[in-house]
Each structure stands twice: as structure tokens, then as C-alpha cells.
Amino acid sequence: MSFSYPILPGGHLLAIEGLEAPHIAALLDLAESYALLNRQGKTQRDLLKGRTLINLFFEDSTRTRTSFEIAGKRLGADIVNMSVSTSSVNKGETLLDTASTLNAMHTDILVVRHAQSGAPALLAQKVQAAVINAGDGTHEHPTQALLDALTIRRHKPDLRGLIVAICGDITHSRVARSNIHCLNAMGAEVRLVAPPTLLPADVTRLGVQVFHDMTKGLAGADVVMMLRLQKERMSGGQVPSAREFFRFFGLDREKLAYAKPDAIVMHPGPMNRGIEIDSAIADDPLRSVIGEQVEMGVALRMAVLDVLARGLRRNA
């Protein structure tokens, strides 16, 4: 496959905001081919041979880190996992000190997760490696949005005009922000369903419709995307209790019945069963594509690594 333009401008993947439909479509097409190879059990171990990929996680994560690790290994990269404790003395110093350490080690690709919005962008200014944002604060989680789009596309081939309802804690969700930008770029109609205390200010300016009632927000939806509700939101007072949240904003059969009969249900994981989603739906093979999201995550991340590695070869 060859591309006549850079799919990821700047040589990093820091955010979905700023990417346009052709960029995203090209990534998804490439990821599609990796999904096929993965199912056939084939690997391409020469593509990233001799390249060093570092998973730099300032926040705990199992699934995203593992997904990048598998993606990198299937392409033949040398992978190092670095978990940096967030309780270390001075996080800021650690970040820039880490950057100079990584430069000295001649890292090719850096996958970063950090609790602060903008931290991967700051690192990208200081390191020579290609940087992939694996989630920064409440800003973006671009590979999650891309794997979500890939998963949706396998069930609903044309994203244009699809109604996607994103439900739950929007304020604190980087997954929601990346998905809003990605789905809007691809021509879908994005709805947010949440109590007003979990919606960030002026969010309609991002090109979404806002609902506070699941039955209205889900009406006619093609895709229902649930978000994880962090336990601390309850202690922070944004939601009075788990049972009240589940009653009005949790996804159960009754509420899902308002969506289209063939609507798919998604969740970035890990799930709080009985808080934002009923187990009966999470485990329903006819509706839930949550397992497939994980599978597509590896394929999509292979595609991102592939594209960034092409850039590295050009610069080498």
C-alpha cells in the first residue's frame, strides 16, 4: 500500500482533532488489512525490525499497554514497557528528564499515557521519537476513537449519517472527546447523553446534540457507546449515587429498546457492570461488540505503528 500524502501530519499521533476524513479513512483501511492478517494468524515481523518502541505509562493501564505491545510485537519491534509511578516526587521533572533519557536511548516510537492533558504534546516537542498519545488527562485518546470507528465500520459500512449516542461521564472522558472529533470528521451524527453535571461547558460547540434523557438520546440510534463512570465522580458529588445513575443513565434492555433494532453497543472498558451497563447487554453477542473493539484495537494500533514507521524510514 502506498500513500501520496502523510497520513499523520507532523509524524506523531497526538489528537484526532485536526485529522481529516481522508487521513482517518486511510488508517482504517490499513487497519482492516491488519485485522484480516491477524485472523489468519499471519505476522509481518520485518516491518518494525530493529525499531525500538517504548510504552511509557504514567497512569496504570493494562489493556491499552498490552494492545500496543502485541501490535508492536506482531510488526517485529523491540518493545520496552516503562511504568512511571505517579506518586514520584515531581511528576513534571520526571517527564522532561524522561524525555532526555529516551533521546539518549534512540527510541523510535514512544507510546505515552499521562494523567495531564497535553503531556504527550509536551514530550513530542522534546523527544526525537514519533509520539503516540495513549490517553492524556481529559483531553484525547486517539487510538481508542480510531478503533471504535473501525469496529463501527465493520457493522455499518458507511459512517456518514449514522446516529451515535455517547453516554455517561463526558466531562472527564478523553475517549468521548476523541470520538466526537473522529465521528464528526467521518460524517456521523453525534449525540451526548448525560446528566448536566457530567457535561463539559459549551460542548455543543464541538458539533454534538445534548440529551439528558436516555430514551430521547437513544431514539433511533445506530450505535450506543457507553463510558466508564469513575467511582470518584460519586464522591465528588457530580452524581448522587450509583443506583440513581444506573436508573437514569445506565444502559439496560428497556433503554436500549429505544435505539434501532440493529444498534450495536460499545464500551472502551473496563466496565462497571450494574453502574453504566447491565451485564445482560454487555454479554449479549447480538448487541455487544465490546470484545471486537479489543480485537480491532490491536489491528488499528498496528496500522498506526506502520504509518509512523514509514515516516521514520523517510527521515532515516
Partner 1 sequence: MTALLIENARLLDPATGRDAPGALLVENGRITSLTGAPADGIPRFDAGGACLAPGLIDLHASLGEPGHEHRETIASAALAAAAGGITTLCATPDTDPVVNDPALVQFMARRGDATGSLTILPYAAATRGSEISEYGLLREAGAIAFTDAPRAIASARTMRLALSYARAFGAFIMQHPEEPSLATGGVATEGEMATRMGLPGIPMAAEAMMVARDIALARITGGHVHFSCISTAAALDLIRAAKAEGLRVTADTAPPYFDLSETAIGEYRTYAKLSPPLRPDSERQAVAAALRDGTLDAVCSAHRPCDADDKRLPFVQAEPGGAGLATLLGVTLAQVHSGAMPLLDALALLTCKPAALLGLESGRLAPGAPADLVLFDLERGWQVKAGALPGKAQNTPFDGRPLEGRVRATFKAGRKVFGA
Binding residues for partner 1, per CB under 8 A? 17, 91-93, 95-96, 114, 116-119, 121-122, 136-140, 174, 177, 200-203, 205-206
- Residue 138 CB, nearest approach to partner 1 (Å): 4
Q: How far is the CB of 119 from partner 1 (least distance, A)?
A: 4
Nearer to partner 1 by Cβ, of 128 and 215: the residue is: 128
Shortest reach from residue 201's CB to partner 1, in Å: 4
Nearest in space to 297 (alpha carbons), one of 188, 121, 180, 135: 135
Handedness of CA 68, 70, 75, 76 (dihedral sign): positive
**Of 124 and 225, CB closest to partner 1:** 124
Strand ranges inside the chain, DSSP E:
52-57, 78-83, 109-114, 130-136, 163-167, 189-193, 209-211, 223-226, 264-266
278-281 contacts: CB < 8 A, separation 24 or more?
278/250, 278/251, 278/252, 278/253, 280/252, 280/253, 281/251, 281/252, 281/253, 281/256
Closest separation in Å from C-beta 44 to partner 1: 34
Q: Which residue type occupies 95?
A: L
Of 204 and 215, the one with the shorter C-beta distance to partner 1 is 204
Beta bridge partners of 130: 109
Q: Which residue, 125 or 215, is less far from partner 1 as judged by CB?
A: 125
Contact at 8 Å (CB) between 48 and 75? yes
Shortest separation between residue 205's beta carbon and partner 1, angstroms: 4
Closer residue to partner 1 in complex, CB, 20/93 = 93
User: Smaller CB distance to partner 1: residue 130 or 176?
Assistant: 176
How near is the Cβ of 82 to partner 1 at its closest, in Å? 17
In the complex, what is the shortest distance from the CB of residue 1 to partner 1, in angstroms, rounded to a whole number?
A: 32
Task: Cell 434492555: give the residue.
Answer: 253
Query: Between residues 115 and 257, which has the closer beta carbon with respect to partner 1?
Result: 115
Contact criterion met (CB below 8 Å) for 98 and 153: no
Angle at 107 between CA 102 and CA 108, to 5 degrees: 145
**CA neighbor of 177 nearest in space, from 213, 149, 203:** 203
